[in-house]
């Protein structure tokens, strides 16, 4: 059986990357992540990402490209990451997060990222620098 995919967005705007602080569950609360969630049956990962960013942040976003790689989370669950651009709205922590921060390339290491997010965050930060 193939793993269930969790999609996350490296949302970039004006040279900064969006970081979201989880409010739950207790073992992850306070750690920072690229916002996203589980792909539902019948959904494409990109569709799930658009839905999750709408639900969690209240924005319309556009997936841009997949960051190569897939990171195991727990048995049966794997993380995939897309870069994403804001189409409309200002991100607000509506669901699952209690704080958001826009980080420039030199500020990426100022928050405590979830371990599994770190490789994709590093890649996204490198792309911010390159643009």
- Determine which residue in the list 10, 11, 17, 34 makes contact with ligand 523, applying CB under 6 A: 34
122 touches ligand 523 (CB under 6 A)? no
> Which position among 82, 84, 117, 128 is part of the footprint of ligand 523 (CB under 6 A)?
117
CB-neighbour burial class of residue 20 (10 A; exposed 0-12, middle 13-18, buried 19+) = buried
DSSP 73-122: EETTEEEEEEEEEEEES-----SSEEEEEEE-GGGGGGS-B-GGGHHHHH
Residue whose C-alpha is closest to residue 102's, from 32, 10, 19: 19
Give the nearest distance from C-beta 18 to ligand 523 in angstroms: 11
Contact status: 63 vs ligand 523 (CB under 6 A): no
H runs (alpha helix) in 19-74: 45-57
Q: How far is the CB of 44 from ligand 523 (least distance, A)?
A: 15
| Region class of 64: left (phi > 0), else alpha (psi between -120 and 50), else beta | alpha
**Binding of ligand 523 by 17 (CB under 6 A):** no
Task: Tell me the chain's radius of gyration from C-alpha atoms.
Answer: 13
- Binding flag, residue 18, ligand 523 (CB under 6 A): no
Q: Would you say 79 or 124 has its CB closer to ligand 523?
A: 79
User: By CB under 6 A, is residue 57 in contact with ligand 523?
Assistant: no
* By CB under 6 A, residue 124 contacts ligand 523: no
Positions in the binding site for ligand 523 (CB under 6 A): 6, 8, 28, 33-34, 36-38, 73, 79, 96, 114, 116-117
């Amino acid at each position: 059986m193939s793993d269930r995919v969790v999609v996350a967005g490296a949302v970039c705007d004006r040279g900064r990357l969006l970081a979201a602080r989880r409010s739950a569950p207790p073992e992850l609360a306070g750690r920072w992540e690229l916002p996203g969630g589980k792909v539902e049956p019948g959904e494409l990962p990109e569709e799930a990402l658009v839905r999750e960013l709408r639900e969690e942040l209240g924005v319309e976003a556009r997936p841009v490209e997949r960051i190569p790689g897939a990171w195991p989370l727990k048995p049966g669950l794997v993380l995939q990451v897309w870069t994403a651009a804001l189409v409309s709205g200002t991100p607000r922590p509506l669901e699952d997060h209690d704080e958001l921060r826009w980080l420039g390339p030199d500020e990426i290491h100022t928050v405590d990222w979830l371990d599994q997010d770190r490789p994709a965050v590093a890649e996204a930060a490198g792309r911010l620098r390159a643009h």
